Amino acid sequence: MFPAIALLTFIPALVGQAAAQESHKVTFTNNCGHGTPMLVKGEDVLSEGGGEYVSNGALESAIVYLNNGANGECSHDGNQCSMVEITLLNGEDGKSSQADISLIDEHTFSDPIGFEYTDGCSGLGAYCGESGCNTAYYVSNDDCVLVGCAADNAGINIIFCNVQTGFTEAGHQTSPCHGNSTSSAGASSGTTSGQVTTASDTTAPASDSTDSTSVPSTTATTTTTTT
């Protein structure tokens, strides 16, 4: 048997080791032929230029957009551009990773944008192919477009332009959840049927709402790690 003191020391060490193993990878596939992928959290630029980013621990309330794309330069918080909001964390207390496409207020459509989970929940994601797509937030309670993933250490690939996935194409004329936003018909959509999770299913929303393709792409190979 372990002595009582040794056992009490051993158990916290195991807990700390398990917590330290949490990590999440963000990758980028830029098929647009222009622009700079940006990964931003608050005031910090975590990745610029499309290099693989690894977070040692949860990555919460981060945003991704393509700077200097079709609409020119975006603001630091992604205004004037298509944007993906992401929260990546290991599930506990009913929480899970979540991601969404946001076109709320100043986040206007610029370039086609999508995302797909990696390292768990592969095949789950969303794609917005043009202005008015029915897979993005247009008002703050369009929570039906949130896509969740309960897998531990899940990563995500953000895709710009020419997204080829199993996602469906569909037209719409109104906001996807409530019919209260202005949008155009015949837009590209992107959530695979039955794979969208709503805010009621999870308790860790992305921010303000918030595998690569077979198409030749522009990706970077550098790796950035944060602690």
Radius of gyration of the chain from its Cα atoms, rounded to whole angstroms: 18
Q: What are phi and psi of 169, to 5 degrees?
A: -110, 135
Band (pLDDT 50/70/90 cuts) for residue 66 is very high
Residue 172 gets which letter from DSSP? -
Q: Which residue has the higher pLDDT, 43 or 204?
A: 43
pLDDT > 80? residue 119: yes
Tell me, what's the pLDDT at 216?
36
Q: Which residue has the higher pLDDT, 95 or 100?
A: 100
The 3-class secondary structure across 114-155, one letter per residue, is: EEEEECCCCCCEEEECCCCCCCEECCCCCHHHCEEECCCCCE
Question: Model-level pTM greater than 0.85?
Answer: no
Q: What is the CATH number of domain 23-226?
A: 2.60.110.10
Looking up tokens 């990758």, which residue turns up?
Answer: 27
Please compute the mean of the pLDDT values over residues 115-126 and round it to a whole number: 90
Asked if residue 48 lies in contact with residue 70, where contact means CB atoms within 8 angstroms, the answer is: no
* Torsion sign across C-alpha atoms 181, 72, 191, 64: negative
Mean residue pLDDT of the chain comes to: 73
Q: Which residue has the higher pLDDT, 82 or 208?
A: 82
C-alpha pair distances (Å), 148 with each of 35, 83, 121, 123, 155: 28, 17, 9, 12, 12
Tell me, what's the pLDDT at 65?
96
Band (pLDDT 50/70/90 cuts) for residue 176 is low
Q: Are strands 44-48 and 36-41 parallel, antiparallel or unpaired?
A: antiparallel
Band (pLDDT 50/70/90 cuts) for residue 95 is confident
